[in-house]
Amino acid sequence: MIVLHYFATFVYQNDASQTNYASTMIAEEPAVQMFERLQHEIIGEDRQLFKSVIREAIFRGYLPENAAKPSGKNTTKRGRTPFDWCTHRGTSLFGKNLLPCRSESVFGFPYKVMDQITSFLFYGSLIGGGLILLVLCMLFFFYGQLWFQAYMSGARIRMFNLISMSLLKIRSRVIVQAQIMAKQAGLPIAGPMGITTRRLVAHYLAGGNVPNVIRALIAAHRAALDLNFDQAAAIDLAGRDVLDAVRTCVYPKVIVCPDPKKSSETMLSAITKNGIELNVRAQVTVRTNLERLIGGATEETIIARVGEGIITAIGSANTHFEVMENPDNISKAVIERGLDSQTAFRIVSIDIADIDVGQNIGARLQADQAEADTRVARARAEERRAQALAQEQEMKAKVADNRALVVAAEAAVPLALADAFRRGMSS
């Protein structure tokens, strides 16, 4: 077999009893050839490296300039210089001019100038590297904690984003904590509908309350409400408390009608057809309508509409006994009117909390009417009396005039008699 010519007998038979010198040398021949081939391949690089080291040592003064010459102390026992070790079979591999002196140049520059340039580049590199390291240390000191916190929490915030936030005068801790809250709550923080860093920064710059919006989104997500970041941000920028709106949507809110905080009246006053006054206080349970929260009417509109509906329902009752017996009729009548249309709330229920019987407004109105009629009759009688007195005075004046005429007539009688006598005598 061919293997017998390249391997020793004890290698494949595990028996060294028949091993001899010749077979061992023959078996080692491939390895020897491989080693020699590697030496021939590597010796060139070793010579170049050794040459560079010796030349640099001569240039810097660590070795004399005649270190390459076989004389004096620079020679070994065999009379070889350090450069002789860079030769092969006694012939120099470097040639005659491979050891430049100090007067020669490199790339057109003298060695002294090249040495200065090299020193300048070396120290410049050290200073530049130190400055870069200092800047990196400062960045890590100012932003490393936030970045590491975001990284460990799974939030996608880069160091560049933190630096840009500082340049824009944004509280980066608020943005980082908001995105960490969203990530830990299971909200999407990537994609077109995700809560990305750019969206949070834009909402912050617009004057929005970023933590409040994130808390509202987390509450809506836990309650399975259909609320995304754009809607929550729009509600927040509109001046509404989006977190309170979500809480009201999850936990309905009770509104007292009338509201004692906004009105001096504590009861609604209504009158039935028989004139009896009823004082009513109602409790309206509402839930936030997120779809109409922007542009929808507020609590004041709900209170006014409910108050109007209660007064209308009581006023349509024939007697106050009907209202007292079935107060739920008022609630049903008010709910059927759809008072929550175009508002930011949905009316869940309207409950009559208290009903008090007030005054008999009908009787009082009738008494007031009778008194008014009496006053009118008195005024009319007084008018007629005044007219009678005036007529009496007129009659008295006429009597006086007639008496004057009688007196004048009586005064004319003697004159007429005298005139008659005068005429008779003359005839």
- Tell me the C-alpha distance between 8 and 28, whole Å: 8
Contact between 170 and 204 (Cβ < 8 Å): yes
pLDDT confidence of residue 112: 62
CATH number for domain 253-363, candidates 1.10.3720.10, 3.30.479.30, 3.40.50.300, 1.10.1040.10: 3.30.479.30
- pLDDT digits 0-9 by tens, 298-340: 888 888 888 888 888 888 888 888 888 888 888 888 888 888 7
Q: Reduced to 3 states, what is the DSSP secondary structure of residue 144? A: helix
pLDDT confidence of residue 293: 81
Contact between 203 and 238 (Cβ < 8 Å): no
- pLDDT digits 0-9 by tens, 240-292: 888 888 888 888 888 888 888 877 778 888 888 888 888 888 888 888 888 88
- Tell me the C-alpha distance between 182 and 217, whole Å: 8
Does residue 111 surpass a pLDDT of 80? no
Does residue 139 surpass a pLDDT of 80? no
Does residue 214 surpass a pLDDT of 80? yes
Find the distance separating the first CA and the last CA of the chain, reported in whole Å. 221
Does residue 25 surpass a pLDDT of 80? no
Does residue 178 surpass a pLDDT of 50? yes
Rg (alpha carbons) of the chain, rounded to whole number: 61
pLDDT confidence of residue 190: 81
Alpha-carbon separation of residue 163 from 151, 182, 207, 314 (angstroms) = 16, 21, 20, 66
**b/e sequence 276-291, b meaning 16+ C-beta within 10 Å:** bbbbbbbebebbbbbe
- pLDDT band for position 113 (cuts 50, 70, 90): low
Q: Reduced to 3 states, what is the DSSP secondary structure of residue 38? A: helix
Average pLDDT score over the chain = 77
